[in-house]
Structures are given as structure tokens and as C-alpha cells.
Amino acid sequence: MSSQIRALEPQSVWNHFADLNAIPRPSKKEERVAQFVEDFGKKLGLETLRDAFGNVIIKKPASPGRAKSKTVILQAHLDMVHQKNDGTIFDFEQQGIEMLVDGDWVKANGTTLGADNGLGAATIMAVLSAKDLSHPAIEALFTLDEEAGMGGAKNLGKGLLKGKILLNLDTEEDHVFTIGCAGGLDTNIDWKYAEEAAPAGAEGFDIVVNGLKGGHSGMDINTGRGNANKIMNRVLDACQKGGLRIGALTGGSVRNAIPRESRAAVAVTKTAAFHKAFAAIVREIMDEFGTVEPDLNITCTPAATPANVMKSRDQKRFLAAIRAAHNGVFRMSPDVPGLVETSSNLASIVLKDGHFACGTLQRSAIESGKADVAAAVRAPFDLLGAKITNANGYPGWKPNPKSAVLAQMETLYEQMFGHKPVVEACHAGLECGIIGERYPGLDMISFGPNIFNAHSPDEKASIASFQKFWTFFKTVLEKI
């Protein structure tokens, strides 16, 4: 399948992308891909180094006649989000991504594609290996652990970069220049609950919620898409009147993806009442989400009866806590029309053997909003007596609408394409704010090609859009 990708234009970039996607690169386990990029820089004869965290920096001198131009930092992250369809058999830690071409789109076979941010990294590699581009001195920064907490940016070594302009290649619409983003914070819940033997004569069932779109928990949080954990909770709560008892429950997997699937193993003592309640709540949910989630499935099939179930009192408290935990948009920006200011994603749930663990991610353009929504999320779990911890906090990126680089890029874009670009802040987390804290005074812009449905198996990258982006990117390097 990669031969299709390698034949695309510009071949240099797509070949580098195929090389990256041949290497498993989950967050926090990027040593193989980091070593590959380090070796790539050294084979080109370029100054190449790793900081203490493992981020890779490759420096390329200015092309002839450009020695007086300001040094430019080109930045992308090497890790990718791992998500796959329920029926897809795939080992992300051992297998390379299986890619295919579908019309104008590059996609993956049942998994995330890794265009976020692999195409950005491949673009930088193409600049480093090119012999015919006009560009200033380049400092290529490849960070690690972006998707699981911005670890690479937060631990970036100081004194390694001299550039004063940073071009981040992690925006996913080719007509958009991003000049600011939200900060983030994880709120993680850990709770021990009481179990007992399943009631005598209880029948076992597996309840499954799947077919949801999922997506990026920042960029897609305002689309009204279903969260599998919240939907499953509604089903379980409604079916308690059928004597439903929870044996085990799993839903979602990564902090920054909207959960697409959830599974529960339950014991039921009032089968007729259970089926009636199940049918009623499924009709209700399908009616609510039919427009935005046309492929949603909620099924119930006979299964082995769980040996142990959550005690009734704890089950009621648990379901109430999940019901109360905020998920979705918390506040829209009063200053920027259409921009989500603050949100939360009820990202992952694992409940079994007397232990409940839940991961959530809060985002906000303002620090006080981030703290407020995190407090709202933890409140119902505080009432459970759960242990609650915060982790992976990172700051937002304050917009600079008076940026000199922004003005120059806006002019170039309008000259080349006949219309103005959209200049905006986004609700996703970008590394710019963190890097800017470690290297004050940077003039920073984020841009990139069209990549849709990032953080889901429906992720796809437009071939035509990338060609547009590449043409513009080369012009920026020539004129900047």
C-alpha cells in the first residue's frame, strides 16, 4: 500500500511520510522514530543533537544568498494518537500504519493515519534533504510525547535554539493561520468500590456502544458528537429498573480523543423489564443523535453472567457521578465568536474487580477557566470519596495579532490564492505556548494542510491540499 503513497507529489514529502509511518510511534515510546530522525540528520551531514528528554534538533545552514535572513525554527511532533475500529486487528507498537489512496485522500486501513503530525514532520525532513530550495538557516525541532501531555515541549532543553521565528506545522486546515491555542489539564479519578456475588439466577448480557465518530477532543468538542462513556452510562442507569448490575465496564482509550466505543458486562434479574427499559432508552438516544451520529449502534447480547458485580449502593453512586461529570463545551469565548473557550472530555473508563479508573482532559484559553472546569469535573467524584489527581498541565498560547511574520504570510497567501486566510486561535493544544515560555520572544505561526478527523480511524489527509500547502510553504521559506 505504501507504494501508492510514495508515488504522490511532492514525492520527497510523501516518501518521508511513508518512512515515518513504517515505524511504530506511540506517545512515550518514540525511541525508534526519534533514532530514525537522528540518523537521518547525521546521514545528511547536518548538525544533529538530542536534548535530555529525547527531542531531536537538526540544523541546516542557509541556502546560498540567504545568510543574512533570520534563522527559522521548523517544528512538528513525532508521536501519534493510536485509535482503531472495533473490528480491526492491529498492534500499534509493532506494526507500521497501513495506508491507502482513496481519490484525493490518503487514509489508513481501520486505524488512525498519523498525518497528525507526521505530515508536518515529513515536510521538515523534505526541507532538510532538499538541494534546490531557497531558505534561511533552519533549526528543525522534532518533539516527543505531544499527544500524551506535551512532554517534549515542556522538557525542551534551553540554549539549543537560536532562531526567533517558529513555524509550527500542526494546524489542519490549509486556509487557516493559527496564532493562539488553549491550555490543558488532565483530571484522573481512582476509586475502590465494593463487590458481591451476582444474584442467584441472574442472566448475563454484554452491552456495546459503538459506531460513533469520535474525533479530536479539542477541535471536535463543539460538534455535538456522542461520547460513548456518557451514552453507556445513560443506558446502564435506565436499565437499573430491570435489576441490572454492573460486572465490568470499559470505554474510550486516550485522553485527547472523544470516546467512540464502550462495553459493559452486566447481570440482570428482571429480564423482561430490562429488555423493555433497554429498548426505550436506545430509541431515545438514537433519536437524539441520529443526525450527527448516523452509524451509532447500541446492542445487547446474551453472555456469561459476571461472577461478581458492584454492590447496589455503590452502583447508584457511580452512575450518578458519571451522569453529573461535565463533558463537552463548558463555555464559549465572549471575545472571539464561535471559539470554544473551555471544555472537558470524559475520555476513558475502566471498571472491574472493585477498581474504577477514569481519565478526563480539560482545555481552556484562560487559566481560570481551566481550573474552574477541572473543579466541576472532580466534584461528583469527590462525593464518591475517590482519589483525584491532576497531571499534564500546560499553558495556552496567547495570540499576537501584530506579529510581523503573520503580516508577511497573510500578504503572500492573498497574492498566491486570491483571498485572505483565516487567522484564529484554536481550542486544540499546540506546543507553541510551551516552547514560547522556554524561548521567550519567538514570533510563532502554526499552519498546515487539510487533515480531517484526526485522533480517529477516519483520519484522512487531502493530496491536493497538501500540494497547495507545500507550494505556499516553499514560498514562505523563500520570502521570509
Q: What is the mean pLDDT of the chain?
A: 96
Is the C-alpha dihedral spanning 46, 131, 156, 92 positive or negative? negative
Same domain (yes/no): 178, 297: no
pTM to 2 decimals?
0.83
What CATH number is given to the structural domain containing 161? 3.40.630.10
Mean pLDDT of all residues in 341-355: 98
* Strand bridging mode 195-197 / 387-394: unpaired
Note down the domain range covering 70: 2-182+396-479
Is the pLDDT confidence value at 370 over 70? yes
Q: What is the pLDDT of residue 337?
A: 86
pLDDT, one tens digit per residue, over 22-40 is 999 999 999 999 999 999 9
- Cα angle at 230 between 224 and 233, to 5 degrees? 150
Say if residues 179 and 436 touch (Cβ distance below 8 Å).
Answer: no
Grid cell for residue 212: 460513533
Known catalytic residue at 431: no
Total of domains in the chain: 2
Q: What is the pLDDT of residue 1?
A: 55
Same domain (yes/no): 223, 92: no
What CATH number is given to the structural domain containing 217? 3.30.70.360
Q: Which of 359, 394, 429 is the last residue of a domain?
A: 394
Known catalytic residue at 414: no
Q: Which of 350, 377, 394 is the last residue of a domain?
A: 394
Kindly provide the b/e burial profile for residues 237-256, where b requires at least 16 CB atoms within 10 angstroms of the residue's own CB.
Answer: bbbbebbbbbbbbbbbbbbb
Q: Lay out the sheet containing 138-143: strands in order across.
A: 47-50, 56-60, 138-143, 72-77, 165-168, 443-446, 176-181, 422-426
Same domain (yes/no): 351, 400: no
Confidence of residue 86 (pLDDT cuts 50, 70, 90): confident
Beta-sheet strands, E only, within 8-78: 47-50, 56-60, 72-77
Confidence of residue 336 (pLDDT cuts 50, 70, 90): confident
Same domain (yes/no): 138, 199: no
* Strand bridging mode 183-192 / 387-394: antiparallel
Q: Which of 394, 419, 435 is the last residue of a domain?
A: 394
Mean pLDDT of all residues in 136-164: 96
Same domain (yes/no): 14, 43: yes
Same domain (yes/no): 426, 361: no
pLDDT, one tens digit per residue, over 314-334 is 999 999 999 999 999 999 999
Is the pLDDT confidence value at 190 over 60? yes
Confidence of residue 48 (pLDDT cuts 50, 70, 90): very high
- To 10 degrees, the CA torsion angle through 175, 479, 106, 16? -150
pLDDT, one tens digit per residue, over 234-258 is 999 999 999 999 999 999 988 999 9
Task: Tell me the C-alpha distance between 30 and 20, whole Å.
Answer: 11
With a pLDDT cut of 70, the percent of the chain lying above it is: 100
pLDDT, one tens digit per residue, over 404-415 is 999 999 999 999
Candidate list 30, 38, 51, 79, residue with the active-site label? 79
Residue at 128: amino acid letter: L
Confidence of residue 2 (pLDDT cuts 50, 70, 90): confident
Candidate list 19, 30, 145, 146, residue with the active-site label? 146
Q: What is the pLDDT of residue 149?
A: 87
